[in-house]
């Protein structure tokens, strides 16, 4: 046996340092290849680091909360055998491979037993990708659910907590969705046959929890003030917003829209068997309207540099997401290539990953245009700040029933406000106005998407 050290790797985009959020192992613990050993927080995301060793932990070299430079040793392990990986000594671990397989492997490696389907794990698949490029090992060790609740194994179904097995009727995908959205199934009233909990029941419960979770009144603090270190997502956001606000001349345009037909369209999609199991919301139609309007006004999908304007012929569609760690803007790569169904699935996965705090740096890089859906917070409208490097950010307010003049008569209609901010160095008022008008026209008549 020999003792090896594990230096903090660069997990992407030239990382220089990261904070140790939690340790998943302790001195004396046996570790397997690719077993998660700790969580680190970079300026953009929360990342789980897998072990490049098989052996026994002898020492943790960094405390929780400590900020560690890339390349500095954070763990010491007594390894088994003579085949030590190249991460020993002062060699930094290889950066992660930025592929869909990598993100899937990480998801599989960190998912609870409740999420697993029968079949081989990611670590058992030949040539499967892992976070820091250590290669794959043998069979993954069995994992138990956090919190130690006993699990009930049902043939052909995902394992579920015994406490939930009898009284709650919900299929494995619905249980997974509930867990991802932080919904307690015991609190959900099922509307399916025999009280079965359906997808819409879970989404409705999650929306209510999201809307009212900030309404509780905390006890007043005994301290006169609190000092919060500026780091991580908040530090990055502050820097980016100042740069964007003072470097790019913002111009904002917005308009009210009769979105009644959009709401009817959403209702029809929810009832369609093609969209069964996929979340459908007005945000989906808004995103598709954005892509349609960009095709008609390509100037807004551009980046300004000191020497040229780069017009992108692809759309990496960013969706601003409020998470427990702060604002993140992951983007859907090549969104212009996706069908409405594919776009719905991509938005849902992006949202779930962001809420779980697992958005990775690669998922937040390379965006070309952004959506800010402030309507989910009950707001009518706001003036968003551009994501640095982008020319446009669109926002949609909440959709409310309001009086609206139709054919000379005042009628109740579902009305929202849409608009956004634009980089005036790239686009002028005529282009901005046409673009916003195009987005609004699709919300008023979704049939335009057939064009």
Same domain, 290 and 392: yes
Same domain, 335 and 409: yes
The pLDDT score that the predictor gives to residue 332 is: 96
Task: Give kind and range of the element (H or E) at residue 38.
Answer: strand 36-41
Residue 220 lies in a domain: no
Same domain, 196 and 255: no
Q: How confident is the model at residue 151 (pLDDT cuts 50, 70, 90)?
A: very low
Q: Is 424 a catalytic residue?
A: yes
Q: Which of 115, 250, 312, 424 is catalytic?
A: 424
Same domain, 200 and 241: no
The pLDDT score that the predictor gives to residue 188 is: 84
Is residue 298 predicted with pLDDT exceeding 80? yes
The pLDDT score that the predictor gives to residue 14 is: 65
Q: Are 46 and 358 in contact (CB under 8 A)?
A: yes
- Give the residues across from 69 on adjacent strands: 17
242: left (phi over 0), alpha (psi -120 to 50) or beta: alpha
- The CB density around residue 197, as the number of other CB atoms within 10 Å, is 24
Is residue 207 predicted with pLDDT exceeding 70? no
Is residue 149 predicted with pLDDT exceeding 50? no
The pLDDT score that the predictor gives to residue 328 is: 87
**Alpha-carbon gap, residue 275 to 269, rounded angstroms:** 6
CATH code of 74's domain:
2.40.50.100
Q: Are 120 and 36 in contact (CB under 8 A)?
A: no
Q: Which tens digits make up the pLDDT trace of 374-429?
A: 888 888 898 999 999 999 999 999 999 999 999 999 999 999 999 999 999 999 99
Helix/strand/coil percentages in the chain, nearest 5? 35, 25, 45
Q: How confident is the model at residue 329 (pLDDT cuts 50, 70, 90)?
A: very high
SS3 of 396, please? strand
Same domain, 252 and 340: yes
Number of domains making up the chain: 3
State the residue range of the domain holding 299: 232-450
Same domain, 275 and 310: yes
Same domain, 195 and 325: no
Residue 217 lies in a domain: no
Q: Are 35 and 51 in contact (CB under 8 A)?
A: yes
Is residue 91 predicted with pLDDT exceeding 60? no
Instruction: Say what the pTM is.
Output: 0.61
Residue 349 lies in a domain: yes
Which one is predicted more confidently, 277 or 139? 277
Which one is predicted more confidently, 152 or 332? 332
How does DSSP classify residue 321? E
Residue 150 lies in a domain: no
CATH code of 166's domain:
4.10.320.10
Q: How confident is the model at residue 331 (pLDDT cuts 50, 70, 90)?
A: very high
Residue 292 lies in a domain: yes
Alpha helices in 338-391 (DSSP H): 340-355
The pLDDT score that the predictor gives to residue 307 is: 94
Which one is predicted more confidently, 296 or 141? 296
Same domain, 32 and 95: yes
For 160, the token pair is 């579920």
The pLDDT score that the predictor gives to residue 281 is: 92
Residue 100 lies in a domain: yes
Domain stops at, among 124, 146, 180? 124
Average pLDDT over residues 5-34: 85
Q: Which tens digits make up the pLDDT trace of 122-134?
A: 333 333 333 333 3
CATH code of 291's domain:
3.30.559.10
**Alpha-carbon gap, residue 116 to 103, rounded angstroms:** 16
Average pLDDT over residues 141-148: 40
């Amino acid at each position: 046996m020999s003792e090896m050290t594990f230096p903090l790797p660069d997990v992407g985009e030239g990382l220089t340092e990261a904070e140790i959020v939690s340790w998943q192992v302790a001195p004396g613990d046996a570790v397997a290849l690719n077993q998660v050993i700790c969580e680190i927080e970079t300026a953009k995301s929360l990342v789980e680091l897998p072990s490049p060793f098989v052996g026994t932990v002898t020492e943790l070299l960094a405390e929780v909360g400590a900020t560690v430079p890339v390349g500095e040793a954070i763990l010491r392990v007594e390894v088994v055998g003579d085949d030590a990986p190249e991460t020993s000594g002062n060699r930094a671990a290889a950066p992660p491979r930025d592929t869909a397989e990598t993100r899937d492997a990480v998801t599989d490696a960190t998912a609870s037993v409740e999420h697993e389907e029968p079949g081989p794990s990611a670590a058992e698949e030949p040539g499967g990708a892992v976070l820091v490029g250590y290669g794959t090992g043998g069979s993954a060790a069995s994992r138990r659910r956090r919190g130690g609740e006993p699990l009930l194994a049902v043939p052909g179904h995902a394992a579920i907590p015994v406490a939930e097995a009898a009284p709650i009727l919900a299929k494995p995908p619905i249980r997974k969705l509930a867990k991802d959205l932080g919904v307690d199934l015991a609190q959900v009233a099922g509307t399916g046959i025999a009280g079965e909990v359906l997808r819409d029941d879970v989404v409705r419960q999650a929306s209510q929890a999201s809307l009212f979770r900030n309404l509780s009144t905390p006890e007043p603090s005994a301290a006169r003030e609190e000092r919060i270190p500026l780091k991580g997502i908040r530090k990055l956001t502050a820097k980016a917003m100042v740069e964007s606000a003072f470097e790019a001349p913002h111009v904002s345009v917005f308009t009210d829209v009769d979105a009644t037909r959009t709401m009817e369209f959403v209702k029809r999609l929810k009832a369609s068997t093609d969209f069964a199991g996929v979340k459908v919301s007005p945000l989906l139609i808004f995103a598709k309207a954005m892509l349609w309007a960009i095709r008609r006004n390509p100037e807004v999908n551009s980046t300004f540099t000191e020497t040229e304007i780069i017009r992108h012929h692809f759309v990496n569609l960013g969706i601003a997401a409020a998470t427990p760690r702060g604002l993140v803007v992951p983007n859907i790569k090549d969104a212009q290539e996706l069908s409405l169904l594919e776009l719905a699935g991509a938005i849902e996965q992006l949202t779930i990953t962001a809420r779980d705090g697992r958005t990775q740096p690669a998922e937040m890089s390379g965006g070309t245009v952004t959506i800010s859906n402030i309507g989910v917070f009950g707001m009518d409208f706001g003036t968003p700040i551009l994501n640095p490097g982008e020319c446009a950010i669109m926002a949609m307010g909440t959709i409310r029933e309001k009086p609206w003049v139709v054919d000379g008569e005042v009628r109740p209609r579902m009305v929202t406000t849409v608009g956004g901010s634009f980089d005036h160095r790239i686009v002028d008022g005529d282009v901005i106005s046409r673009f916003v008008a195009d987005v609004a026209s699709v919300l008023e008549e979704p049939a335009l998407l057939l064009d």
